[in-house]
Amino acid sequence: MAKITKLDDIVSLCKRRGFIFQSSEIYGGLASCYDYGPLGVELKNNVKKAWWKSVVQMRDNIVGLDCSILMHPLVWKASGHTDKFADLIAECKKCNVRTRVDHLKEHAEEHTEHISIDSATADAQDLSNKVCPNCGTIGQFTKPMPFKLMFETQMGANVDDSMTLYMRPETAQGIFANFRNVLDTTRVKIPFGIAQIGKSFRNEVTTKAFIFRTREFEQAELEFFCEPGTDEKWYEHWRQARFDWYINLGLKKENLRFREHEGNELAHYAKACVDIEYRFPFGSGDWQELEGIANRTDYDLRQHQRGMRTVNKWLENDRNLTNIELADEAEDFQKGPLSYFDDEQKKHYIPYVIEPSAGIDRSALAFLVDVYDEEIVRGEQRNLLRFHPALAPIKVGVFPLVKKDGMPEIARNIYDDLKKHFNCFYDEKSAIGRRYRRQDEAGTPFCVTVDGQTKEDNTVTVRDRDSMEQVRVSTDQLLSHLREKLEA
């Protein structure tokens, strides 16, 4: 029977098999930063490929972008991040540990990413019954204060022209800032989407649970532009499409659910938002956000039109954001530089935006947790990762049964052939059973073994990871046999 996975099992497997390491481990590690090892980078790339294939490649009306992490500071003023992207924190007077106020209620078992400061402030009047998750002291907190989540950095060597920039806290704004460029250089027509995968940075107050919440992470975001009035239809479309994506890649349905945001929980830009939650195995096995799908309305494009009108003021202010207010919205903002002209209806408007926003690291963790299994086979424990073939870091292991009688040469030839098509792994060391176990633990769906019979009839065995069953396949049918199984 499948085992209930513990996060510790996953962390230990990830380290042992080279999926994920602590960053800067040789120096004692850097909190909440992780490095992906040889198997981990394949898994993560496969998650990204699967997302790109489903969101961009398989759709005619979605194009991609890859924007820089550092952007003009006014981007973040216009988007609202410089003023509003903060967590409300309180410091325990006994141990001096700072905690997000919205995490205090439930002793660090939270459901939300970042709730608006305004709503957190309203909810945070009384901390007298709240427990410090670090030392357990009750009700001994400082007055709640905002803690800004964007990392700052300086650009430029000269004092005169250096300026403060922010590491982007979401990839979305690069898409909004390029909306006009995409409209002018492609043939997209509304409804259409712009997709991007890339790193984001947040100086999170509480990091936790391995790669679940880190300060540097990767997001896969789609901004889907549609005509106002059709937004609710597209919101429904994307919430289902994104849910199905996880199911189609093998996540168990019973571990996934939707959670609609309450009004006071909505981000400052959203009219509606739903989380796809996964039952992660930490804390009390609680549901946690995997991805958010938001109706961002026309907020961002309208704000960037105001940002564009603020540039001169910013230049006059020595390129400093301090004490700068965004310019008012133009009266004819619907015809502004970031509007869309509908040829058929002969009208300008600012499109509405539906945004599915997924975390690549968090998805990778969910896939790892969901497929981890332990079973007893002939008195021995077998650990395995039952990855969907599209996600498996290695698709095919190729082995000679023994290291003699010409078997390694034949196996090498097969490996050289197959690796043109899939990520393969050749192994001739140790007993065949151990080699199978190593591939089971790496999540490799198939292992091909050259044995004594191969020389006689040109067949090899193909072993299935999940059932451990083996079938004989002729070498000239091997590629199509594997293709059929891996691409099913």
Residues lying near ligand GAP in the complex (CB under 6 A):
113-114, 170, 172, 202, 204, 213-214, 217, 219, 221, 289-292, 355, 357-359, 361-362
Smallest gap from Cβ 215 to ligand GAP, in A, equals 7
Smallest gap from Cβ 218 to ligand GAP, in A, equals 8
Q: 245, 303, 295: which is closest to 266 by C-alpha?
A: 295
Q: Which residue is nearest to ligand GAP (CB)?
A: 359
**Between 359 and 445, whose beta carbon lies closer to ligand GAP?**
359
Smallest gap from Cβ 34 to ligand GAP, in A, equals 10
**Between 231 and 361, whose beta carbon lies closer to ligand GAP?**
361
Smallest gap from Cβ 445 to ligand GAP, in A, equals 26
Radius of gyration of the chain measured on its C-alpha atoms: 26
Smallest gap from Cβ 112 to ligand GAP, in A, equals 9
**Between 298 and 355, whose beta carbon lies closer to ligand GAP?**
355
- The residues, any chain, with a CB within 8 Å of residue 58's CB and separated by 6 or more, are none
Smallest gap from Cβ 105 to ligand GAP, in A, equals 19
**Between 170 and 265, whose beta carbon lies closer to ligand GAP?**
170
Smallest gap from Cβ 169 to ligand GAP, in A, equals 7
Count CA within 13 A, CB hemisphere, residue 422: 30
**Between 29 and 406, whose beta carbon lies closer to ligand GAP?**
29
Q: How far apart are alpha carbons 249 and 363 in whole angstroms?
A: 11
**Taking a C-beta distance cutoff of 8 angstroms, is the pair 261, 270 a contact?**
yes
**Between 231 and 355, whose beta carbon lies closer to ligand GAP?**
355
Alpha helices per DSSP H over 1-145 = 7-16, 38-52, 73-79, 81-84, 101-104, 117-123
**Between 221 and 370, whose beta carbon lies closer to ligand GAP?**
221
In the three-class reduction of DSSP (H, G, I as helix; E, B as strand; rest coil), residue 380 is classed as strand
Chain centroid offset of residue 427 CA:
32
DSSP string, 150-200: SPEEEE-SSTTT-EEEEB-S-SHHHHHHTHHHHHHHS---SSEEEEEEEEE
**Between 208 and 438, whose beta carbon lies closer to ligand GAP?**
208
Chain centroid offset of residue 73 CA:
25
Smallest gap from Cβ 183 to ligand GAP, in A, equals 21
Q: How far apart are alpha carbons 135 and 115 in whole angstroms?
A: 25
Q: How far apart are alpha carbons 168 and 70 in whole angstroms?
A: 6
Smallest gap from Cβ 141 to ligand GAP, in A, equals 23
**Between 165 and 211, whose beta carbon lies closer to ligand GAP?**
211
Q: How far apart are alpha carbons 202 and 100 in whole angstroms?
A: 14
Smallest gap from Cβ 49 to ligand GAP, in A, equals 18
**Taking a C-beta distance cutoff of 8 angstroms, is the pair 460, 448 a contact?**
yes
- The residues, any chain, with a CB within 8 Å of residue 111's CB and separated by 6 or more, are 259, 275, 277, 286, 287, 288, 289
**Between 194 and 450, whose beta carbon lies closer to ligand GAP?**
194
Chain centroid offset of residue 121 CA:
29
Q: How far apart are alpha carbons 33 and 297 in whole angstroms?
A: 34
Q: How far is CA 330 from CA 81, 275, 306, 334, in A?
A: 22, 34, 8, 9
* Environment class of 109 (CB within 10 Å of its CB; exposed 0-12, middle 13-18, buried 19+): middle
Taken in order 170, 172, 176, 181, the sign of the CA dihedral is positive
